[in-house]
Amino acid sequence: MTTSNPNWGDPHTINADLHCHSTVSDGTLSPDQLAARAAANGVQMWSLTDHDEVGGLEKASEAARAHGLLFVPGVEVSVTWSGKTLHIVGLRVGFKNSPLSEGLGQVRSGRRERALEMSHQLAKVGIDGVFEGALKYVGNPDLISRTHFARHLVERGVCTDIGDVFQRFLTPGKPGYVPHSWASLSQAVTWIRDSGGVAVIAHPGRYDLNELQMDELIRQFIELGGQGIEVVTGSHTVDQYRTFARRSLKHGLKASRGSDFHGPEESRVNLGELPPLPDGCVPIWDNWENVL
């Protein structure tokens, strides 16, 4: 496989990291710090994909340029599909006054109330003041996330680590979990496409879906114009790299690669430190001629 730019050679060998988070959502590093870290770790093509928010992309783009990185404006949209929460990554999105930036305003608007309700529920099981505590970790008042709650509960010593908080308090059926209605799959894919981007199913291995449901999700996603699926992500096991490589080929989806890095203390995978896409996958960036 070749690209239009001979400098890059085989697109499989490009160190692309197309999924991570800054303080503009639930990461612990600023967009500038992420760009510096990506460059130091040998990333060549980098995307910032904050949850439901494009407010960090301008800074990220400038910092990427300063560090000699190819920058891909991105986002990770929270979606409710078939009663479950899914994430759809948008890459190469137009983010200034775009259908996406408008749509995301609606998605963010319920977060504060949800957080207050989570705090209320936790108070009922004897853990007070969690909303105020979580706010100390919030970099963007429009984007209070479960991650900020988790950091606070670890700091307080209620739980030993973030995974423990999610398991005991912040997942369906647990005392601090408040169901929420995010964007529809159709809205997310349409906002991304109408803003010039490509839509990618984020970390499919994390969803509690059986084979039939996964096929149905992919079918609907493609029908809406979705084009990619994450194959190599910090959220997948090595087995899942293979499983989702096969699925990408079966459905004709392009493959994406991203660490889902949230911060040096918390992430399983560092920025840019991922294996290449498995042989046979078509990289999502394969035809991005003006980036490559």
Q: Does 262 bind ligand AMP (CB under 6 A)?
A: yes
| Amino acid type, 34 | L
Question: What is the rounded CA–CA span in Å between residue 208 and residue 42?
Answer: 34
Task: Name which of 289, 290, 285, 243 is nearest 43 in CA terms.
Answer: 285
Q: Does 51 bind ligand AMP (CB under 6 A)?
A: yes
CB of 65 to ligand AMP, least distance (A): 27
CB of 268 to Mn ion, least distance (A): 12
Question: What is the rounded CA–CA span in Å between residue 254 and residue 82?
Answer: 24
Interhelix angle for 146-155 vs 111-124, to 10°? 40
Which does residue 78 bind out of ligand AMP, Mn ion, none, counting CB within 5 to 8 angstroms by kind? ligand AMP
Angle in degrees, CA 8, 244, 1, rounded to 5: 25
Q: Which is nearer to ligand AMP, 78 or 227 (CB)?
A: 78
Q: Which is nearer to ligand AMP, 81 or 166 (CB)?
A: 166
CB of 51 to ligand AMP, least distance (A): 5
Candidates 2-10, 162-170, 193-201, 281-289 — which segment interacts with ligand AMP by CB under 6 A? 162-170
Helix boundaries (H) for the chain: 31-40, 57-66, 99-109, 111-124, 130-135, 146-155, 162-165, 185-194, 211-223, 238-251
Q: Does 17 bind ligand AMP (CB under 6 A)?
A: no
Chain residues 62-91 in contact with ligand AMP, contact rule CB under 6 A: 78
Q: Which is nearer to ligand AMP, 76 or 284 (CB)?
A: 76
Spell out the SS3 assignment of 145-169: CHHHHHHHHHHCCCCCCHHHHHHHH
Which does residue 71 bind out of ligand AMP, Mn ion, none, counting CB within 5 to 8 angstroms by kind? none
Tokens at residue 85, please? 């929460």
CB of 147 to Mn ion, least distance (A): 5
Q: Which is nearer to ligand AMP, 166 or 191 (CB)?
A: 166
Q: Which is nearer to Mn ion, 3 or 240 (CB)?
A: 240
CB of 75 to Mn ion, least distance (A): 10
Question: What is the rounded CA–CA span in Å between residue 244 and residue 234?
Answer: 13
Which does residue 240 bind out of Mn ion, ligand AMP, none, counting CB within 5 to 8 angstroms by kind? none
CB of 233 to ligand AMP, least distance (A): 12
Question: What is the rounded CA–CA span in Å between residue 85 and residue 239?
Answer: 23
Among residues 67, 92, 146, 236, which is the contact residue for ligand AMP, using CB under 6 A? 146
The sheet that has 84-91: what strands, in order across it?
A: 16-17, 45-48, 70-81, 84-91, 198-201, 228-233, 254-258
Which does residue 22 bind out of Mn ion, ligand AMP, none, counting CB within 5 to 8 angstroms by kind? none
Binding-site ranges for Mn ion (CB under 5 A): 26, 76, 87, 202, 260
Tokens at residue 110, please? 């319920």
Which does residue 267 bind out of ligand AMP, Mn ion, none, counting CB within 5 to 8 angstroms by kind? none
DSSP symbol at 276: P
Residue 199, judged by CB atoms within 10 A of its CB (0-12, 13-18, 19+), counts as buried
Chain residues 18-37 in contact with ligand AMP, contact rule CB under 6 A: 26
- Contacts to ligand AMP by CB under 6 A: 26, 51, 78, 145-147, 162-163, 166, 262
